[in-house]
């Protein structure tokens, strides 16, 4: 068996495999739901209803999607240039960390000055965190998959150390938790009475900006060229290492915004459970979106919807929420396969 590229894939070739992938995911989830002793149709219905069935559900899904849009964009930007950033989790915590360092009273400013400052500071912190592996890669050829992945654990322990030490909230009754942000540092709601903070708005704007960068600027052109064919890019005169560094700065900055947005928009303080793996889930989001920044928004909504829906379903019929993880993993694996099949046909030798 071998794969043969298809020159001009037909419309059916492009659409059918992803559809079949989603359908198969649903079937797998149904089988597992039956195994757990529930009616699969009821379970799926409850997931959809729990994710999108009411105003509250939709807002919950949008809130949950917000950090995933940021980390998804971060991964999409890096992967597009073939910079394998697995460290969005660490960059997220870097953004969160700088937010509580500056936002708990150190800068006694009004919201109009403080919030933009926090956004820039968070992006800078995330950029620096990814800059180190990126420099190691271009200078010494160190594999960034290893460094960014391991740095996640190092950075989480670093945050843990700070939360037990200098950043510990004296009024926190001994919990490893930072002080609360001052009111001026909190992200306001996008509309009065709706439980949706401006982090979501910032995420949508970021997605649009990333799209503009990739399609309309020389940097975006360079990033795509470096990602598709590094040899040809270097031959043509593109400074490949410089492009990788700039890609790392952008990618790290985007992931850090997830941390800023979670602290300033939702939690109000920093704890070690700020992110249930948003950095890693960002990889799934980016892959499902085929690294397209606009599709990242849709993919993040899909992934967030499954998580939120599964929570709600679990409360109603008692099927464990792990069903959501299995669904996402299945969807991702099948989608990768489906994407392959849109571009190649299998030939038996």
Partner 1 sequence: MTGAEAAQVVLRLDRITKTFGKLVANDAVSLSLHRGEVIALLGENGAGKTTLMNILFGQYTADSGAVEVFGKALPPGNPRAALDAGVGMVHQHFTLADNMTVLENVALGTVPLWQPRLDPAAVRARITKLADDFRLSVDPEARVGTLTVGERQRVEILKALYREAKILILDEPTAVLTPQETDDLFATLRKAVALGLSIVFISHKLHEVMDISDRVVILRHGRLVAEMATRDTDRHALAAAMVGAEVNAPKVSPATPGAALLQLRDVSTPDQGNAPGLKRATLHLRAGQITGLAGVSGNGQAALADLIGGLTAPDAGQLDLDGVGLAQWSPRIAVQSGIARIPEDRHKTGTIADFTLTENAILESYHKPPMSRRGWMNWARAETATQEIIECYDVRCPGPETRIRLLSGGNMQKLILGRVLEAAPRIILANQPVRGLDIGAVNYVHSQLLAARARGAAVLLISEDLDEIMALSDVIHVISEGRLSPEFARGSMTPAELGVWMAGHGFERDEVAHAS
By the rule CB under 8 A, 14 interacts with partner 1 = no
Tokens of 192: 């009065």
- Tokens 């980390």 belong to 71
Q: How far is CA 349 from CA 1, 101, 346, in A?
A: 5, 62, 10
CB of 4 to partner 1, least distance (A): 6
- Cβ–Cβ < 8 Å for 52, 310: no
Window 261-280: residues binding partner 1 (CB under 8 A)? none
User: How long is the chain?
Assistant: 349
Size of the site for partner 1 (CB under 8 A): 24
Q: Tell me which stretch binds partner 1 (CB under 8 A): 5-13, 68-76, 111-119, 137-145.
A: 5-13
Interface of this chain with partner 1, residues 232 to 261, rule: CB under 8 A:
232-238
Q: Which is nearer to partner 1, 9 or 45 (CB)?
A: 9
Q: Is 10 in the site for partner 1 (CB under 8 A)?
A: no
Which of the stretches 74-82, 214-222, 250-258, 284-292 binds partner 1 when contact is defined by CB under 8 A?
A: 214-222
**Choices 38-46, 57-65, 230-238, 243-251; region in contact with partner 1 by CB under 8 A:** 230-238
Element (H, E) at 213: helix 198-216
Q: Which is nearer to partner 1, 168 or 224 (CB)?
A: 224
* Residues from 37 through 96 that contact partner 1 (CB under 8 A): none
| Tokens standing for residue 308 | 């939120």
Specify the residue, 216 or 315, whose C-beta has the smaller distance to partner 1: 216
Which segment (6-14, 95-103, 148-156, 298-306) binds partner 1 by CB under 8 A?
6-14
Q: Which stretch binds partner 1 (CB under 8 A): 170-178, 224-232, 265-273, 326-334?
A: 224-232
End-to-end CA distance of the chain: 5
> Quick check: 50 and 57 in contact, CB under 8 A?
yes
The strand pair at 344-347 and 2-5 is best described as antiparallel
Q: How far is CA 212 from CA 120, 209, 216, 218, 293, in A?
A: 19, 5, 5, 11, 9
Element holding 240 (H helix, E strand): helix 240-261
**By the rule CB under 8 A, 224 interacts with partner 1:** yes
Interaction site with partner 1 (CB under 8 A) = 4-8, 216-221, 224-225, 228-229, 231-238, 349
């Amino acid at each position: 068996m071998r794969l043969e590229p298809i020159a001009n894939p037909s419309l059916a070739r492009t659409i059918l495999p992803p559809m079949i992938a989603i359908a198969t995911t649903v079937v797998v989830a149904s089988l597992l739901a039956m195994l757990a002793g529930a009616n699969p149709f009821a379970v799926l219905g409850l997931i959809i209803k729990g994710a999108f069935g009411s105003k509250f559900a939709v807002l919950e899904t949008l809130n949950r999607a917000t950090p995933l849009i940021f980390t998804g964009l971060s991964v999409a930007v890096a992967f597009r240039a073939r910079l394998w950033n697995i460290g969005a989790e660490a960059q997220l915590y870097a953004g969160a960390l700088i937010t509580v360092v500056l936002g708990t009273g150190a800068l006694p400013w009004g919201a109009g000055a403080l919030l933009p400052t926090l956004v820039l500071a968070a992006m800078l912190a995330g950029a620096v965190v990814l800059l180190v592996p990126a420099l190691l890669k271009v200078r010494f050829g160190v594999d960034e998959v290893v460094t960014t992945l391991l740095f996640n654990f190092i950075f989480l322990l670093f945050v843990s150390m700070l939360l037990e030490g200098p950043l510990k909230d004296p009024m926190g009754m001994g919990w490893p938790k930072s002080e609360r942000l001052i009111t001026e540092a909190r992200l306001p709601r996008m509309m009065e009475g709706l439980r949706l903070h401006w982090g979501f708005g910032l995420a949508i704007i970021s997605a649009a900006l990333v799209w503009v960068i990739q399609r309309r600027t020389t940097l975006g052109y360079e990033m795509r060229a470096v990602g598709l064919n590094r040899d040809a890019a270097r031959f043509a005169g593109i400074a490949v290492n410089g492009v990788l560094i700039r890609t790392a700065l952008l990618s790290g900055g985007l992931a850090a915004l997830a941390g800023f947005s979670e602290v300033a928009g939702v939690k109000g303080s920093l704890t070690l459970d700020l992110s249930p793996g948003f950095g890693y889930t960002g990889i799934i989001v980016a892959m499902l979106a085929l690294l397209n920044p606009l599709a990242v928004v849709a993919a993040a909504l899909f992934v967030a919807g499954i998580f939120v829906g599964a929570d709600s379903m679990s409360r109603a019929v008692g099927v464990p929420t792990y069903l959501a993880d299995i669904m996402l993993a299945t969807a991702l694996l099948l989608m990768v396969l489906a994407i392959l099949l849109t571009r190649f046909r299998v030939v038996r030798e």
